[in-house]
Amino acid sequence: MNYPLIKPKYYVSLFKEILNFIKNPKNEKNRTKSTKQKNYDTIGLLILKTLFLIPVVLFFAVVYDPENIQKGNMSERFTPMILLLVGVVILPFLEETLFRLSLKFKPFYLALTSSVLCYYILTKLVFHTKLSAVDESFIMRVVISISLGLIFYPIINIKSFKKSLSKFWAQHFRSIYYISCLVFAWLHYSKYELSLTNILLLPILTLPQLMSAIIYGYIRVSFGFRYPLLLHMSNNLIGFSLSFLLSTDLI
């Protein structure tokens, strides 16, 4: 039987594929690979990312270990099971909808992305709370965000407007892809406290998220939305599982 995941040549080929995409992103779905091949590539890219991040992990372990204030905050507010639900299912779904769903232009996709973006803005800039916080503003944030999406959808779906947006996406996909990767990575700086050292180390602190964004964007465009979503969830599940194993407070 053919098991590409145990063949070094497979990873060399996979690395070349994504490197070519990074150099020249194209909004084209891969129609030559089977579902089995896409699954292999998705797992293979996760393994490649893990290997490339070994130096970063060693840097955090030996040179500088910043405190993850977000993880501590969430573990105080949720039980382990709810923490898994929020961190492994809900937050990855929101992030993929915001940053990757609309890499492929469709009015429905853009309306959903607009709703999630509105929720982020209301949460962070208006109410100054947590995305996962179910507080007195939660219902208002959700209702306003959903309402915005419902208003945007028929507007985006107007024939002339839809045509213009579709043309814009096609002409500026390269920039849209790059910007989505950088914003996704840099927003994760909020996991750490604001300090001069952390700001100077921003490229290293957010390198794991940048690599994730590059990979998620690639497989979203090439394979479909469910692939980066499931990969994102799996990646978070691995991280949370390791946290549970290493933290006596959560077990």
Residues 18-34: tens digit of each pLDDT: 999 999 999 999 989 99
Distance of CA 2 to the CA centre of its chain: 31
pLDDT at 213: 96
Q: Which of the four pLDDT bands, split at 50, 70 and 90, describes residue 249? A: very low
Q: How far is CA 228 from CA 167, 213, 218, in A?
A: 25, 9, 9
The pLDDT mean for the chain works out to 89
Contact (Cβ atoms closer than 8 angstroms) between residue 131 and residue 120: yes
Q: Which of the four pLDDT bands, split at 50, 70 and 90, describes residue 72? A: low
Residue with tokens 């945007």: 152
pLDDT at 244: 67
Domain that holds residue 40: 35-83+93-246
Task: Report the chain's terminal Cα–Cα distance, integer Å.
Answer: 40
Residue 179, in any domain of the structure: yes
Residue with tokens 């993880």: 71
Q: How far is CA 78 from CA 22, 86, 137, in A?
A: 38, 9, 18
Q: Which of the four pLDDT bands, split at 50, 70 and 90, describes residue 175? A: very high
pLDDT at 71: 63
Residue 28, in any domain of the structure: no
pLDDT at 127: 92
Residue 53, in any domain of the structure: yes
Residue 27, in any domain of the structure: no
Burial group, residue 88, by CB count within 10 angstroms (0-12, 13-18, 19+): buried
Compute the distance between CA of residue 211 and CA of residue 203 in angstroms, rounded to an integer: 11
- Please compute the mean of the pLDDT values over residues 206-215 and round it to a whole number: 93
Count of domains forming the chain: 1
Distance of CA 16 to the CA centre of its chain: 22
Residue 226, in any domain of the structure: yes
Note the pTM of the prediction, 2 decimals. 0.89
Q: Which of the four pLDDT bands, split at 50, 70 and 90, describes residue 80? A: confident
Residue with tokens 């929101």: 94
Residue 110, in any domain of the structure: yes
pLDDT at 1: 47
CA R_g for the chain: 19
